[in-house]
Structure 1
């Protein structure tokens, strides 16, 4: 499930130069006692700026720029929105389990919505998509202003949402106007932080002489980075596994690319890792250590913190930008009456 969703995650779409994004990721997980049942994360240009979960039961700032620019009423409002969404999902899960003929097990409901603004062209875009158990459930076609789905279990939802003109208009107004206004506010609040550029530190790591070689790029900002392998000055794509983009504790990012190569191949050929970030290139061709325990503690702490956020975002997904070829929406001609409630987006 998570692998399916990760293909549509942060690494699947990274804001290009001049393009900024605001998105909210809601995740409800039912059936795991030690994990928060509901989590909400807000991100501007892939930088997390707020957080809520059903264990702490309050929305909290994650950057200094949001903490300094909004008051207690803002956090009270965000908290109430998230508490309401949590309660909605508790009802939704029962409806969805019934539609999918499920009784037990771990189940997730995911929602992602937000907007983009290109400060060079003025173009805007809005998006909404949700998923159930890691698979597409409902997607908003903003141009047609209608909800579509690849699964017949969503037909009752499509009927309810598409027939409610006031609901559609409210969503359109939020995505096209209110969301953009808030995005522009946040960009002003966090200008110095969001516009910073930090180059990555690049290392080659290997547990033992027979283990895969890992190219580790960390500490970079913004998030757009490309990692490639060169073999004798030619691009090499065989036996390469690119890791997911992870968030470090300090707000920078990290990413890995693993090369599975036999020791004798490494000795007979010249391999190097090339990392491109913000128009600059860094390379590494010498393994820095053969002991993974010697990796700097900052990297380890960052990775642990990133795993928590990764789970939250991964199961929610950045799906909207990857409208796949062959996506076939079902028609809303079914007579079903139940519906998974759609949480109203918060401003």
Structure 2
């Protein structure tokens, strides 16, 4: 992957029973690697590499940062007052972050706020000013722009500190995950009438080729390729299913071939030799866990589908780690 991204999504909510009032999720290249919510009350790693990438005091410092962010996000009450809204369900969100093209060295950054799924304020890096999207945002714009030091600090974070952390995280993830072994490939079938599934898991990086052959020729009919999904440790999994009859299995030779950059040679599984007639419970559990790991982030993006983005209070120094 040439272009890498570091993004944080902070969401304050009101009127949603059982849902945390404040949630913050950090994502590297679109995958959650850390999170905080007011119910748990602390920052926690969501990927194995994130545990190894930082010093022992990292998560405690970030918990303190998230506590401050949570207090600052009481602005949701202010926003509701400005918009003359009370009760019901409301959200106040901040998306911020940066992108880095590893090949060209080009970088970009963004920082924006949204209210109830609509844009509220967007930070202009060139003019160091806030662009309001609704009339009610002008009061907040004036308040924030009156603090010049805060505005300059926000720009410095987005254009320098964020990029430094992005490169650090990318290298840490790469160094940790590249130490892992090649993907584990298994042929599975629930019963003779079910499709045969070729399941590959535990691979990194994300790119993977998985294909079926019949008598040595590539097969495309009756093949269903699933999405590449994250595992809980930063690696990925994918499955491809082939529907065929018992007669076809007897008359032809079927193979599943997996190609990945971590492999010195392709993994080839032969249907009649390597098939395991077991339920796909293990696969299902892995998929469910992967979905749960990303659920908070997904909820945030479905609430606000604005442009992708860390505020000034997350700085790379002895008192701040994100």
Scaled to the shorter chain, the TM-score interval is 0.5 to 0.7
CA–CA distance in structure 2, aligned partners of residues 98 and 244 of structure 1: 43
Match in the other structure for 2:76: 92
Secondary structure of the residue aligned to 2:300 is coil
1:57 Cα shift? 0.9
Is 1:316 aligned to 2:300, yes or no? yes
Structure 1 residues not aligned, in runs of 5+: 1-15, 325-341
* Equivalent residues in 2 for 1:286-305, closer than 5 Å: 286=271, 288-292=275-279, 295=282, 302-305=286-289
What SS does structure 2 have at the residue aligned with 1:92? helix
- SS of 1:116's partner is strand
Counterpart in the other structure of 1:233: 218
Q: 1:214 to 1:30 in 2, by over 3 A?
A: farther
Match of 1:80 in 2: 64
Q: 94, 98, 105: which one pairs with 1:115?
A: 98
- Write the distance in 2 (CA, Å) between the matches of 1:211 and 1:148: 56
Corresponding residue number in structure 1 for 2:163:
180
The match for 1:339 is none
Q: Residues 31 and 203 of structure 1: is their aligned pair in 2 closer, same or farther, counting only changes over 3 Å? A: farther
C-alpha separation in 2, matches of 1:116 and 1:147: 21
Q: Retained in 2: the 8 A contact 1:205–1:214?
A: yes
Matches within 5 A, 1:232-251: 233-235=218-220, 240=224, 242-243=226-227, 245-248=229-232, 250-251=233-234
Deviations 1:80-118 (A, max 9, x none): 33223334445427846996989546x665544322334
Shift in Å at residue 122 of structure 1? 2.6
Contact 1:131 / 1:316 at 8 angstroms: preserved in 2? no
| C-alpha contact 1:161 1:168 (8 A) present in aligned 2 | no
Distance 1:230 1:68 in 2: 41
The equivalent residue for 2:22 is 38
Q: Could you say which residue in structure 2 is the equivalent of 1:218?
A: 201
**Aligned pair 1:26/2:14, yes or no?**
no
Following superposition, the deviation at residue 54 of structure 1 comes to 1.5
Cα deviation for residue 22 of structure 1 reads 2.8
Q: Deviations over 1:284-320 (max 9, x none)?
A: 573834542563xxx56644542332102222349x9
Matched position secondary structure for 2:156: helix
Distance 1:241 1:190, change over 3 A: closer
The two structures have a TM-score, normalised by structure 2, of 0.64
- 2:38 is equivalent to residue 54 of structure 1: yes
- Check the 8 A contact 1:45/1:194 in 2, yes or no: no
**TM-score normalised to the size of structure 1?**
0.61
Distance 1:209 1:190, change over 3 A: closer
Which residues of 2 match residues 94-173 of structure 1 at below 5 A?
95=79, 104=88, 111-128=94-111, 154=134, 156-157=136-137, 160-161=140-141, 164=145, 166=148, 169-173=152-156
Change (3 A) 1:230 1:219: same
Query: Is 1:346 aligned with 2:314?
Result: yes
Task: Assess if the C-alpha contact under 8 Å between 2:82 and 2:136 holds in 1.
Answer: no
Partner of 1:278: 261
- The count of corresponding residues between Structure 1 and Structure 2 is 303
Cα distance per residue 1:29-55 (max 9 Å; x no partner): 655554544333334456755432222
